[in-house]
Structure 1
Amino acid sequence: MLHTSDATNPLRKCSTTCIIAIIFTVLLPLLQFFHDSLLYYRHPIVDGEYWRLWSGSLVHTNHWHLLLNVAGLWLLTFIAPLPFRVHTQLLQIGCLATCVGAGLWWLNPEVIWYAGFSGVLYGLFMLGGLYRLQQRDWLTAAIILLGICGKTGWDWWLGTESATASLIEAPVIYAAHIYGMAGGLLLGILTHWQSNTKP
């Protein structure tokens, strides 16, 4: 169950999201040492290395790619902290990584390899934007939701010519962002439904 009963204390919301940001600020650079074993790579997945479906979201193409995603996570922490306990947020991140990997596997067979936390990050921003929408914080919600949708559209339009693609030394797989956002939308709907059905 994705509990939302702990969403009442703004300080607690911030502190739990800060804990998540700290965890991943430490964890993601360490996982770079296992890059080749964790990378989403279609051929080893076919051979049974199924963990790559979600672990690909935890490694990056280079240090700029890693820094961009860590910075994005801290941005989320400051503008739209998520109102969930740490273990719930970790579970949500696992669900989003699974959505990204499964989406690429089933819907984008042309994608041979993928790395990056951005698909998960876009899902977290979607979740944060939907929560702000539920709280009637219209401005923050609009900035977040229009921002991630606009960035995804921009990456799709520019393709390999985008500045981001040059910086990370790889094409931007905007489909991963879409799958992360779809996962965030589903999680947002689920948590909203749970909060409305509690006695």
Structure 2
Amino acid sequence: MVSAAAPAKWPSASAALALAALVLVYAPPELIELLAYDRQAILSGQWWRLWSGHLVHYSAWHALIDTGVLLLCGAVLEPLIGTRRLCRTLGWSAAVVALALLLGLPALQEYRGLSALDVLLVTMTLTAFWRQQRLPRRWLVLGAAMLVLKTAAEALGLSGSSTLPQGVHVMWQAHALGLLCGLLDAVFVSARPQAGSDLAI
């Protein structure tokens, strides 16, 4: 019996998300401000910013780097796990990252970018490859170690980004939250058996 949630043949959700982020680079500044993560606006009831803040960026180069990683991971991952599961994970992870920033970093007034979700997708790709044994596991361990070291370097202030305007800093906390969401997906979603199918969706 074929599962109704069979893996996607083409990364449609990843492509649509990347396209939306790229189009928004050229949106009017008023629209970008309306969509960005803004602490005070969220606390006043503008909850859509928990999701839309990930779609807007500080510059075209910032958006290009973020969407490039998104497309690269999405092209590999979405055919493996399916579009519906990818969309669900991106949906709850975007909200979890933004809420954690809201609760844990009261000094953070604004946040923009897909980088936390990029880290999520990299983590999900590594765990999917691990489960399906698509690459030698030593390479996957090396990839995971590099991801952790990159986040640690950002936390120590040893890594910056030339794609961000002056005065805007890399939010390593958001990257760490993306990594955590990827691990939660691996533990609570990927490992869950699916009735009627041997596919994890």
TM over 0.5: yes
SS of 1:158's equivalent?
coil
Choose which of 88, 93, 116 in structure 2 pairs with 1:96.
93
Bigger Cα displacement from structure 2, 179-188 vs 84-93: 84-93
| 1:43 maps to 2:40 | yes
- Partners of 1:86 and 1:133 in 2: CA distance: 20
Q: Which residue of 2 aligns with 1:157?
A: 156
CA apart distance, 1:147: 2.6
Distance 1:47 1:58 in 2: 21
Contact 1:40–1:115 (CA<8 Å) still a contact in 2? yes
Q: Deviations over 1:65-111 (max 9, x none)?
A: 10111111133245x42422222212211111112101101111121
Partner secondary structure for residue 91 of structure 1:
helix
Q: Deviations over 1:99-135 (max 9, x none)?
A: 2101101111121110010101111111111111212
Spell out the pairing of 1:58-77 with structure 2 (5 A cutoff): 58-77=55-74
Q: Tell me if structure 2 keeps the 8 A contact 1:54–1:100.
A: no
Q: Does 1:132 align with 2:125?
A: no
User: What is the CA–CA distance in structure 2 between the aligned matches of 1:147 and 1:56, rounded to whole Å?
Assistant: 27
Percent identity reads 22
Alignment partners' CA distance in 1, 2:129 and 2:191: 15
Contact 1:4 1:84 survives alignment (8 Å)? no
Amino acid at match of 2:179: M
Give the TM-score normalised by structure 1: 0.82
TM-aligned CA distance change 1:47 to 1:142, over 3 Å: same
C-alpha RMSD of matched pairs (Å): 2.3
2:87 counterpart SS class: helix
Q: Size of the alignment, in residue pairs?
A: 185
- The answer (yes or no) to whether the contact 2:160–2:170 under 8 Å persists in 1 is no
CA distance in structure 1 between the aligned counterparts of 2:51 and 2:15, rounded to whole angstroms = 20
Q: Secondary structure at the match of 1:61?
A: coil
Residue in 2 aligned with 1:185? 183
CA contact 1:65–1:167 (8 Å) conserved in 2: yes
Deviation at 1:140, TM superposition (A): 4.4
**Of 158, 173, 176, which aligns to 2:171?**
173
Q: Which residue is 1:19 aligned to?
A: 12
Output the amino acid matched with 2:117.
V
Unaligned runs of 5+ in 1: none
Q: 1:45 to 1:5 in 2, by over 3 A?
A: closer
Deviation at 1:5, TM superposition (A): 6.3
* TM-score of the superposed pair, with normalisation by structure 2: 0.81
Question: 1:51 Cα deviation (Å)?
Answer: 1.3
